[in-house]
Chains A and B, each alone.
Chain A
Amino acid sequence: MFKYILKKLIMMIPILIGATIIVFLMLHLAPGDPVHLIVGPNITPEVYDQIYRSLGLDQPAVVQYFKFLRNVLQGNLGNSILQRRPVMEIIWQRLPVTLELSLAALLISFAIAIPAGVLAAVKRNTITDYTCMTGALIGMSMPTFWFGLLLLYFFAYKGGYFPVSGYGTWKHLVLPAFAMGLTDAAVTARMARSSMLEVIRQDYIRTARSKGLAEKVVIYQHALKNALIPIITLLGLRIGWIMGGSVILEKVFARPGLGSLMVDAIFARDYPIVQGSLLVLTTFIILGNILADILYAVVDPRIKYH
């Protein structure tokens, strides 16, 4: 098992290097002069050159990339152009805000999706099934930010139950977590339903029923366990999706997380912050995938650790 995990972790390295190349190229091919952004109006050519050189922008892109990669390997993501302090430090400040939202959303998503999916599968083609799946379809079709704005309007602006924006208390977390969690639950619920349907059609369930076991026991003790396998693995994949989704939602709810940091940095052409936060997000997505692989192996004894 340890070897399996180690192998998966080592496989992460080439993927991450690939990610750094893409991130680096994307930003350097984008138009925009970071020097003008830092110094704005009325600068002398001397000041311009000074900043241009200090950012290493006078060197060829390949040299800049390898310097960047060397620093990344040493845990140094460079200094922010505008804030003039280590990107790592800035990201560490913002990351907990994003993780808090992502975890809460994930929890809400699974807490709603699994019972709804199972219920829909067990009561297939009944009004319960239709209700659950219509709800899921609506959830899937609704952009997260728009759903976020709707929640804001009804529960914060009209109802006054929660603060409109900001960060700090559990009340600030509820609306964005539900906005993200409910739209995410739609995807998971559909998955749970189809997985459950597949399982309850299998022979061992028929056997369990023919033994005279109560329907409750058949569903909860025999079917659910196997039906959950693909859903658990989905958990790993959803982490990346949810963290990516937080980019927009953090803007809507004015949460000072990694997403809003990245969006601001993109508009300010603060390359090191964009690179750094993209890299951190990519790492989480890759880690999520590895977690999915590992969980899959753990919950399904048929998978061998190769």
Chain B
Amino acid sequence: MKKFKFLFLALSLLLVLGLAAAGCSQGEGDTDPEETKVLVMAYDRDAETLDHIRTSWYSDALIYIFDRLVSRDYDFNYQPGLAERWETSEDGLTWTFYLREGVKFHDGKDLTAEDVKWTLDTILDPDTASPFSGDLQAIQEVVVKGDLELDIILKHPFPNLLFNLSNTAAGIAPKDAYTEHGDSWGITTVIGTGPYMLEEWVQGDRIVLKKNPDYNWGPEWMSNRGPALIDEVVLRTIPEETARLMELETGGVHIIRNIPPTVYDKVKDNADITVIQGSATRLGYLAYACDLEPFTDVRVRQAINHAIDRDSIVEFVFRGLAEPAYGYLPPALKSEYYAGSEADGYKYDPDRAKELLAEAGFADGFSVTLSADNSTESTRLAEVFQSQLKEVGITAEINLMDSASYVDFLKEGKQELFIRLYSWPNADILDWFLLSSQFPYPNHSHWVDDTTDELITAAAQMATWDERAAGYQAVQKHLIEQAVWCPVYVPDTLIAVRKEVKNFKFHPWQMMLNDGFDLE
């Protein structure tokens, strides 16, 4: 009997020690709850690393730790960021940036043009293997002209440099960060010039950011250009959607970005929570392998476009929390979006779809597989597509798989009909998906077309932003004619915010927490 007692005691001791250790590690965070304003946000995924140069999964923490040369205001216009102004040479090849004076990194050092050069050079260095390097390939050289002045010399005109420099991946880090901080960079140490500083990262659990009290270089378009009003921001990882929503409802979490339409009604009825609804830079579409019979025939592609009833999908699948889509970019992209998308696009017309199929020699329809990831939304969409296609004689067999396997499946080129959703705030997404050089992946619709290549290349290398935007509009017009995809919907962005959060401002891409957000 003694042995059993001993065993029981040993186990109890271990448990108590474990709990005590856990209790100790938590201790410091609980001090002064009344004086410190702590905003908690919940995400389904943690950061992989906080080294923004070497990741392709950008935690929101990176938005607040770093500043970028260029910022984007609430109307999505490009505005000064760390650069207070810039000039472009007439040939569009030399961009001169003038940095703001008095900007300091979190460790107290001044921001200079050398830091900007180091950041851009490091991204471009093949040894860094930065996922972002491809976006900056137009850069020939970065030349420092003074403490606060630098030239970016381009290989060809590239107005989209503005977008790339405003990207989270282009946050300016201090010169020689890698050599000075070694492996701790991005894990325990990250230094930027942003409104929040890294306090602690408990991997898989939370990232804690502390207000940068010296911050006074917010861009002109912000109402609060000084230090943030909220002292601490905690980004928690809560993978389970149910648990995330329970935390929101019980007050453990203040903000959840991107709640699914399926829980909208439940959250909306809670008096403590407001759901902010805004236009998203996302597009959901039905696509097909264009190199595969019968999708090689434009009439078949057009028939599928006519067969899909977008309005009923928006109403029944998304409960009205989306817009029907006819073009290849979300309308939120404004200047880049082709305004004639809806007029030129294909309306729901099953009779016309049947006519087109008959003309193409498929009067009796045909059978295909319809693949998608197994999320609730995609599963529902697949079922609706299946029944709508059935009406025009196309028999679709649904094939669902988990998201990682789905990407593998597309890379292997096994798709026939398939469902996709992209999220990106720039027209260069069309380069990514539709240039023939991207075949067979990410050009998963296997669209290899000289006209598309010429139109995109010309648009991307125009001298000015306006010419570029016009160029991309021509690209979209061509894609609609060719019915390369079947665009279906632009989902609304749904952000659930608790009543304690004051001065919430909707931004189509990022949440600018330092722009006057406050807590009761």
- Show the binding face of A for B, using Cβ within 8 Å: 31-33, 36-44, 46-47, 50-51, 54, 82-85, 90, 93-94, 96, 99-100, 103-104, 106-107, 110, 149, 152-153, 156-157, 160, 163-170, 172-173, 221, 225, 228, 232, 235, 251-257, 260-261, 263-264, 266-269, 298-299
CA distance A149 to B246 in the complex (A): 11
Chain A residues within an 8 Å CB radius of B45: 264
Chain A residues within an 8 Å CB radius of B402: 267
Partner of A100, one of B4, B22, B54: B22
CA distance A270 to B405 in the complex (A): 14
B250 part of interface (Cβ distance < 8 Å): yes
Chain B: minimal CB distance from A168 (Å): 4
B56:A31 contact, CB within 8 angstroms = no
Partner of A156, one of B7, B129, B250: B250
Closest Cβ neighbor of B247 among chain A residues: A164
Q: Which 10 A-B pairs have the closest CB atoms?
A: A256-B204, A40-B56, A42-B134, A168-B26, A31-B408, A256-B205, A39-B131, A100-B18, A254-B238, A82-B48
Q: Which of B9-17, B217-225, B277-285 contacts A (4 or more CB under 8 A)?
A: B9-17
Count: A-B pairs, CB below 8 Å = 180
B369 part of interface (Cβ distance < 8 Å): no
A260:B239 contact, CB within 8 angstroms = yes
Chain B: minimal CB distance from A227 (Å): 11
Closest Cβ neighbor of A260 among chain B residues: B204
Partner of B187, one of A83, A103, A299: A83
Chain A: minimal CB distance from B6 (Å): 11
CA distance A267 to B374 in the complex (A): 14
Chain A: minimal CB distance from B159 (Å): 17
A169:B22 contact, CB within 8 angstroms = yes
Chain A: minimal CB distance from B487 (Å): 20
Chain A: minimal CB distance from B138 (Å): 12
CA distance A100 to B18 in the complex (A): 6
Closest Cβ neighbor of B441 among chain A residues: A36
B203 part of interface (Cβ distance < 8 Å): yes
CA distance A289 to B40 in the complex (A): 43
A36-B411, A85-B183, A168-B22 known; A298+B3 contact, CB < 8 A? yes
CA distance A232 to B4 in the complex (A): 8
Partner of A169, one of B23, B134, B238, B252: B23
Closest Cβ neighbor of B46 among chain A residues: A264
B204:A94 contact, CB within 8 angstroms = yes
B140 part of interface (Cβ distance < 8 Å): no
Chain B residues within an 8 Å CB radius of A90: 203
B60 part of interface (Cβ distance < 8 Å): no
A106:B11 contact, CB within 8 angstroms = yes
CA distance A99 to B131 in the complex (A): 36
Partner of A269, one of B49, B127, B131, B404: B404
Chain B residues within an 8 Å CB radius of A253: 240, 243
Chain A residues within an 8 Å CB radius of B247: 164-165
B252:A173 contact, CB within 8 angstroms = no
Other than the given A103-B11, A170-B22, A260-B204, 4 more pairs (CB < 8 A) read A40-B131, A100-B19, A168-B26, A263-B239
Chain B: minimal CB distance from A298 (Å): 7
Partner of A149, one of B129, B137, B242: B242
Closest Cβ neighbor of B23 among chain A residues: A169
Closest Cβ neighbor of A149 among chain B residues: B242
28 residue pairs from A and B, CB less than 8 Å apart: A32-B404, A38-B129, A41-B56, A41-B134, A43-B134, A44-B134, A82-B48, A82-B55, A83-B187, A93-B203, A100-B18, A103-B18, A104-B15, A104-B18, A106-B11, A152-B246, A153-B246, A160-B250, A163-B252, A164-B252, A165-B236, A173-B22, A232-B4, A254-B237, A255-B205, A264-B45, A267-B402, A298-B3
Chain A residues within an 8 Å CB radius of B244: 165
CA distance A85 to B51 in the complex (A): 12
CA distance A167 to B238 in the complex (A): 11
Pick the most buried of B45, B132, B239, B240: most chain A CB atoms within 10 A of its CB.
Answer: B240
Interface residues of B in 55-79 (CB under 8 A from A): 55-57
Chain A residues within an 8 Å CB radius of B387: none
Chain B residues within an 8 Å CB radius of A269: 404
Chain B residues within an 8 Å CB radius of A256: 46, 202-205, 237
